[in-house]
Amino acid sequence: MVLSVLRYRSKRPMSVVCLIVKKKEYGMRGWLAAGLAVCMAGAQATPVHEYNLKNGMKVLVREDHRAPVMVAQVWYKVGSSYEVDGITGISHVLEHMMFKGTDEYASGEFSRIISENGGRENAFTAQDYTAYFQTMEKSRLPVSFELEADRMRNLTLPEEEFLKEVQVVMEERRMRTEDNPQSLAYEQFAATAWASSPYRTPIIGWMDDLENLSVADLRAWYLKWYAPDNATLVVVGDVDPEEVFQQAKKYFGPLQAGEIVAPKPRLEIEQRGIKRIEVKAPAELPYLLMGYKVPVVHTAEVEWEPYALVVLAGILDGGTAARLESELVRGGEIAASAGASYDAYDRLESLFLMSGTPTTGHSMKDLEDAFMAQVGKLQDERVTAGEMDRVVAQISADKVYEQDSIFYQAMQIGILETVGLSWKEADRYLERIKAVTPEQVQAVARKYLQRDHLTVAELVPQPIDPKQPPRSGGSAHVH
C-alpha cells in the first residue's frame, strides 16, 4: 500500500497504466498503449463537469454508470520535481505520513474506516504530482470526502510514527532501487542526463536524504503544499455531478485556502555534447538506456511537436508490428528486448527514451548502433502512410478501451490538470495526433534526436555469485 513510483524505464507511478508509452517486461507480451480523445461516434467518453470551490479547489466529475461504484481522487500539485537538494523524497514520505493521523482520526483510522466501508484506497507520488484515491460503492462517497478533507489541513505528523514510517520508505527504496540493477541504472542515468532540471533526482529520494529527513521538514512541506487551492478533486463513476459538487462543497468548502507560491521554473540548461556513463551493479544482463531532451505539451513552443513525438514513439514502439520489435528483436535479432517511450504530459522538458538488452551474441555497441540507425532512418526518410495509419488506429481504439476503467479515466483527468494543462486536452488529443504528418515526424526527429542532446547509460553487470570473477567491461556481452 501507499506506493510510490518506480523510475525504471518510466516515470509513472507503479500501479498505474501509463499514458503514452508501452512498457515491456521480459516474458510479457501484452502492452499498454494509450491514447486520449475519441475516435467514433457512440464511443465518446461522457463530458467532464467542472466546478470551483471558493477556496480555490477544483472539482471535476465524469459519469460512468456501468457499475454502482465510484472512484474519488485528490490530486496535489507537488512531487519530486518540486523538491530541492537535501530533502529529496520528501513528497513521497509525506504521502506515507498522510495515513498517520489527524486531530480527529488516530493513525491508521483512515485505512480502517475506508476498509470497513468496502473501499480500496491507496496513493501515489510521481515527479509532478501526489494523488490519493478511494474506490468504493457509490453511496460511500461522503466517507471518502470527509476523510480526505480532514487530512488536507489537519495532519498531526507524530514524531514516533514518522521514525517508523521513514524506515518503511527506506525498505521500499531497497526493494525498488538498491536491489534492482535496472532501476539503479535508470536512477543514475537521470541524474546524469539532467543538470539543472529537478527531474534529476529520484522520486523516492536519495538514501542519505531519507536518513536525514526530520518531521519538521515534513511539517513545513505539508503546510507549503497541502491546501485546497493546490488540489484537484476528481470523481468518476455512478454519480450525479451536481450531487458530487454539493458534497464537495460540504466537506472541502470550509477548508481554508493556503498561500501557494508556484515553484520556480528551474529550466534545464542546454546540453552541449553527449553524456555517457557506466553503472556497475550485481546483475546477469547488461542494459542500455538512451535519452534525448525533448519538449512536452506544457513546454512546447511549437504546438504540434509533442504530438509528432508521440507518433514517432508509436512508429518505433507502438506494438509488435512497430520498428523496434520487427527490426531489432525479430529482423536483426540484435535485441532481446527493446523499447522507446515518451511522455507528452510531463510538466517540464522531458526525455525521449530508448532502452534495451542485446541478445546473446550481440554487444552493447551493436545495440546502441542499431538504435542510432533507427534514429538516422527517422531523420532521413519519411515514415510510411501505413505506419501512420497503424499508430492512429491504435490510439483511436485505446481511447475506447481506456473507458473500461473508471480509475484510468480519473487518472487521466487528474494528471492533465495537475501538470498545468486541462482535462480538455484529452478531448483534443486524437485530433492532434491525426493531424501529424510524416514530414512533421521527420522534422522532430531531426530537431530533437540530436547526438549533442543525448545521454547514454550502460548497466555493466557485476557477478551475483561473490565467488565468480568479475566480467570484463560493458561491451562484452558476447558469449
Partner 1 sequence: MKLARKMFMLLALSWVTLAQALPEIQSWKTGHGAKVLFVAAPELPMVDIRLVFDAGAARDGALQGVARFTNGMLDQGADGLNAGQIAQGFENRGATISNGSERDMAWLSLRSLTDDKLLEPSLELFGKVLSKPDFPADDFAREQKRTLVSLQYQKQKPASIASRRFYQDLYGEHPYASDPTGTEATVAALTTGDLKDFYRQYYVARNAVVVIVGALSEKQAAAIASRLVDRLPDGQHAVEVPPVEELKEAREDFSEHPSSQSHVLIGAPGMHRGDVDYFPLYVGNHILGGSGLVSRISQEVREKRGLSYSAYSYFTPMRRNGPFTLGLQTRNDQRDEAIMVLRDTLREFLAEGPSDKELVAAKNNIIGGFPLRLSSNSKISEYLAMIGFYDLPLDYLDRFAERVQAVTVKQIRNAWQRRVHPDRMVTVIVGGSG
Residues 295-324 that bind partner 1 (CB under 8 A): 318-322
What does the block give as the cell for 336? 532481446
Judged by beta carbon, residue 52 or residue 331, the one nearer partner 1 is: 331
Q: Work out how close the CB of 453 gets to partner 1 at its nearest, in angstroms, rounded to a whole number.
A: 30
Is 95 annotated as catalytic?
Answer: yes
Catalytic residue among 63, 83, 95, 161: 95
Q: Identify the residue among 159, 212, 246, 330 touching partner 1 (CB under 8 A).
A: 330
Q: Work out how close the CB of 168 gets to partner 1 at its nearest, in angstroms, rounded to a whole number.
A: 5
By CB under 8 A, is residue 146 in contact with partner 1?
Answer: yes
Judged by beta carbon, residue 54 or residue 467, the one nearer partner 1 is: 467
321 Cβ neighbours under 8 A, 6+ residues apart = 390
Q: Identify the residue among 156, 271, 363, 405 touching partner 1 (CB under 8 A).
A: 405
Q: Please, are residues 50 and 242 in contact by the beta-carbon 8 Å criterion? A: no
Helix extents (H) in 194-240: 207-211, 215-225
**DSSP helix/strand/coil, 438:** helix
In angstroms, the CA 179 to CA 156 distance is 33
Handedness of CA 447, 196, 10, 132 (dihedral sign): negative
Judged by beta carbon, residue 209 or residue 346, the one nearer partner 1 is: 209
Q: Identify the residue among 102, 135, 299, 442 touching partner 1 (CB under 8 A).
A: 135
Q: Please, are residues 59 and 245 in contact by the beta-carbon 8 Å criterion? A: yes
Judged by beta carbon, residue 142 or residue 473, the one nearer partner 1 is: 142
Q: Work out how close the CB of 116 gets to partner 1 at its nearest, in angstroms, rounded to a whole number.
A: 4
Percent of the chain as helix, strand, coil, to the nearest 5: 40, 20, 40
| Contact pattern from residue 233 through residue 272 relative to partner 1, giving x for each residue in contact according to CB under 8 A and a dash for the rest | ----------------------------------------
Q: Please, are residues 279 and 185 in contact by the beta-carbon 8 Å criterion? A: yes
By CB under 8 A, is residue 469 in contact with partner 1?
Answer: no
Q: Work out how close the CB of 176 gets to partner 1 at its nearest, in angstroms, rounded to a whole number.
A: 8
Q: Please, are residues 203 and 126 in contact by the beta-carbon 8 Å criterion? A: yes
Residues 166-195 that bind partner 1 (CB under 8 A): 166-172, 174-175, 178-181
In angstroms, the CA 9 to CA 228 distance is 33
Beta-ladder partners of 456: 276, 290
By CB under 8 A, is residue 286 in contact with partner 1?
Answer: no
What are the residue numbers of the active site? 95
